[in-house]
Structure 1
Amino acid sequence: MAERRKHKRPLRRALGWVATVLAVLAAIPLILTPLYIVVDPVSAPMLTRYLTGQPVRREWRDISDISDRLKAAVVMSEDGQFCRHWGIDLAALQTEIEDFFAGRPTRGASTITMQVARNLFLWNDRSVIRKGLEVPLAVYIDLVLSKERILEIYLNIAEWGPDGEFGVVAGAQAGFGIEPQNLPWDRASLLVTALPNPHVRLPGNPGPNVRRIAGIIEERAREYGQRAACVSPQLRLEL
């Protein structure tokens, strides 16, 4: 019996350490998310670049100082139900789960809030584990932060260029050499095309396919842009 107890002690210690690490990791978003009501966060990819000596360009910009056209284009391109859901789009997520178990290609079903959760607290490589963690984090973020603040954080931490450009200010300056307010529709839509893959899609030097995608984004934003009204009570769009 004494011998068995000796063998169990290392296992218990290891399990205790694992439980402690998991508890700390779980506590990080629980503690930091309320702070982000007033504190402007740094994303995990930005932090990785800082720690590895790579350049980071990011200038925070309040959401009120960002073009309404750009806000509408981002919402309609990335998450058309943003103002209506509680952090996750249940219909899109259900379809994603069904496609996964049926062996069909999956799109990700990521809402803007889920992307904020990933950029702040998780990693970028696609996996079922990461997606499973995104869901409760997104619900918690949506509970704690306002829609306006969630989009403001997203617009300021999203990767917007291939050389460490984070946030819409760096993206607009790298693409067009301009500030991100009062953007015309064509430039607002071209900026949004970079979000899925800022290392390949360059708004300042768009090819025919990028221009085609930008045209689709502009058309949706012009027609349905008022769906983004939750992020700006004074939203005024030239639709």
Structure 2
Amino acid sequence: MRRVLSFSARLFARVILWFVGISLILVVLFKWVPIPVTATMLMDENGITKDWESLDNIDPNLVAAVIAAEDSKFCEHWGFDTEAIEKAIRENAEGGRRRGASTISQQTAKNVFLWQGGGYFRKGLEAWFTFWIEAVWGKERIMEVYLNVAETGIGTYGAEAGAQRYFGKSAARLSRDEAGRMAAALPSPKTRSVVNPRGWLARHGNSIERRINIVQGDGLDSCVYD
């Protein structure tokens, strides 16, 4: 029994060491190298349309729009918005519509290194990768990767592919209205319309468009351009 336990402990330790080593190698590598493909892309039955672009070729309106829509404290936190997490826990405990609290950094970690779906195990891995991309990549690279791997439509990934799909032009030339509509659809790009949004979705896009002024005026996107 002792031999079995000793062998199991050594095996577990080796697995942990391999995981730590490989994950850190990937984090360092992807600080410089465009992400070639993600698990989400590979599992997409609709195929993959993507086109990697540097942050310099993505309109600042879209950067401001996703900060306004997804993570207004992006430049303030170190990967985790503790206030939003605490609020989500309280509201979810009270029942009703479940609320998420993932930051752009957490979403980027999930999109690049992991898979979609919940579960405490995946959330734990997400926290691990979030910590390291914040430490190694920095905010500018996190935003660049996020805007290149996020699903922006059916079988469509990244800002450039999304801009071409919906507006027939480069992501470098998005208006505030277009950026707001793209950001409004990000949480559910397969079901939310970008071209002809209606009802709540149209109002949500308009709200994001207005908040772009606040993000840019108050420098809430300043860490992206340091």
**TM-score, normalising length: structure 1:** 0.83
Mapped contact 1:175–1:202 kept (Cα < 8 A): no
After superposition, residues 72-87 of structure 1 pair within 5 angstroms as: 72-87=64-79
Q: Distance in 1 between matches of 2:131 and 2:84?
A: 15
What is residue 41 of structure 2 aligned with on the other side?
46
How many residues are paired up? 223
Within the alignment, does 1:215 sit opposite 2:210 as a pair? Answer: no
Q: Distance in 2 between matches of 1:16 and 1:97?
A: 37
What is residue 28 of structure 1 aligned with on the other side?
22
Deviations 1:79-111 (A, max 9, x none): 100011111112112223444556565422100
What is residue 169 of structure 1 aligned with on the other side?
160
SS in structure 2 at match of 1:123:
coil
Q: What is the identity, as a one-letter code, of the residue corresponding to 1:159?
A: E
Q: Distance in 2 between matches of 1:95 and 1:212?
A: 24
Q: Distance in 1 between matches of 2:94 and 2:191?
A: 31
Q: What is the identity, as a one-letter code, of the residue corresponding to 1:220?
A: R
What is residue 158 of structure 1 aligned with on the other side?
150
Which of these two proteins has the greater Rg computed from alpha carbons? 1
Q: Distance in 2 between matches of 1:208 and 1:126?
A: 29
Q: Distance in 2 between matches of 1:146 and 1:69?
A: 20
Stretches of structure 1 lacking an aligned partner (at least 5 in a row) = 234-239
Q: Distance in 2 between matches of 1:167 and 1:69?
A: 15
Q: What is the identity, as a one-letter code, of the residue corresponding to 1:31?
A: I
Q: 1:201 to 1:37 in 2, by over 3 A?
A: same
Q: Which runs of 4+ in 1 moved over 3 A?
A: 8-28, 97-106
Within the alignment, does 1:61 sit opposite 2:53 as a pair? Answer: yes
Q: Distance in 1 between matches of 2:14 and 2:41?
A: 26
Pairwise CA RMSD of aligned residues? 2.3
After superposition, residues 55-204 of structure 1 pair within 5 angstroms as: 55-100=47-92, 105-162=97-154, 164-204=155-195
User: What is the deviation of 1:15?
Assistant: 5.7
SS in structure 2 at match of 1:160:
strand
Q: Distance in 1 between matches of 2:17 and 2:40?
A: 23
Q: Distance in 1 between matches of 2:8 and 2:112?
A: 28
Which region of structure 1 is more displaced relative to structure 2, 212-221 or 121-130? 121-130
Deviations 1:26-52 (A, max 9, x none): 433221111112111132212334xx7
**TM-score, normalising length: structure 2:** 0.88
Q: % of aligned pairs identical?
A: 38
